[in-house]
Structure 1
Amino acid sequence: MNEFKDLIFLGEILLQSKIALRANERLEATKDNFDRLEVWCSIQSILVSVANVSKILWPTYKKHEKRGERLRKTLNVSDSNPLSNRVFRNHFEHYDSRIEDWFSNHSGGVYVDLVMNPSFNGREFEKFHHRGYNSFNDTLIFRGELLDLTEILNELEKIRNNCKGLVLDYP
């Protein structure tokens, strides 16, 4: 085991968790004082921070696979934890590619982005919602796919709590 290196990773997980939780506090504050830009800034911060934790615990490169296994074991995180799935985050990070793909397969027409409080009742036009946020149930939508932010943040909080006592708590 690489104890010193693992402490560095655990410290980074703790930091990224705090960033995501702070961003969520800002997101919650927008419900009282609506600021569309702050909504999307906060969502992006949450997604990036969660992705950074995900990459530490489920490394992209095979050569770092053992590190991920070791840290997940240390933090009591299951392989099936929702943070392991970065597909939804990739929709936001690689949005440029999603736009290219969309227009390669659709001839103009309807393009609805940054939707606020969309309804999900099966109406045909909803398949054209690219990015959306529902503040009533804290879900994100990307072209019909949903991500429950509450579930993701709860899992992140569990991981953060498991870091406590293992590493110094800073910022």
Structure 2
Amino acid sequence: MNGLQQMVPIGEIVLQTKIAKRAAERLHATHDVFDNIETWCSIQSILVAAGNVSKILWPNQRYKTRGEELRKLLQVKPDNPLSNRTFRNHFEHYDERVEEYFQVNSQGVYTDQAMNPYLNSGLFGHIPTHTHRGYNSFNNTLVFRDEILDLTEILTALDELLNSCKPYTLV
């Protein structure tokens, strides 16, 4: 990759990171004044922006070399949490997840967009399996059924990546 070929995706990483950071600020602001739409809009923006960065750094097989070169240049570690797009996929393919759920669950219990699902979760703080999407404002985690994503960990990884981009762009 030549200089321009590096600068364009790095510039996009910077943009997507700034989008995620702004969304995180909006999300934090919803903690004091509950706004369900803004909460989920902010969460979705964080997930999409992080997913876009992930696709740049861990592209499909056709662009594998580009991803490897960018990860090396930006010193991205192999265990970087941005490499996992599972939660972004849960939200992006929500319709499929709902259909799959009802194929194996005929029960009438279905909870979505739960706020602080741990507080009303029954014994020992376990999240009910019927909670599909949930957000815990106390520790900044997302829930999708029995999976948990730490948004702070994702935002920290984006901040570290932004710092790695500084020598290559006007951040």
Q: Would you call these one fold, judging by a TM-score over 0.5? A: yes
2:53 aligned with 1:33, yes or no? no
Q: Structure 1: state its 5+ residue gaps.
A: none
CA drift of 1:125 comes to 7.0
2:142 corresponds to which of 140, 143, 151: 140
Amino acid corresponding to residue 78 of structure 2 in structure 1? D
Map of 1:10-159 to 2, 5 A cutoff? 10-59=10-59, 61-119=60-118, 121-122=123-124, 126-159=128-161
CA drift of 1:144 comes to 1.0
Q: Structure 2: state its 5+ residue gaps.
A: none
* TM-score normalised per structure 1: 0.94
CA drift of 1:165 comes to 2.3
* TM-score normalised per structure 2: 0.94
1:116 and 1:28 map into 2 onto residues whose CA distance is 13
* 1:127 aligned counterpart, secondary structure: coil
CA RMSD of aligned residues (A): 1.4
1:52 and 1:78 map into 2 onto residues whose CA distance is 18
1:135 and 1:86 map into 2 onto residues whose CA distance is 21
In the TM superposition, what whole-angstrom CA distance separates every residue of 1:24-69 from its partner, at most 9, and x where no partner exists? 000011112111110000000000000000000000x211001011
1:49 and 1:125 map into 2 onto residues whose CA distance is 27
CA drift of 1:117 comes to 0.4
In the TM superposition, what whole-angstrom CA distance separates every residue of 1:118-167 from its partner, at most 9, and x where no partner exists? 11655777011000000000000000100000011001100011111211
* 2:69 aligned counterpart, secondary structure: helix
Amino acid corresponding to residue 145 of structure 1 in structure 2? E
2:112 and 2:97 map into 1 onto residues whose CA distance is 12
Displaced runs of 4 or more, over 4 A = 120-125
* 1:128 aligned counterpart, secondary structure: coil
2:5 and 2:127 map into 1 onto residues whose CA distance is 50
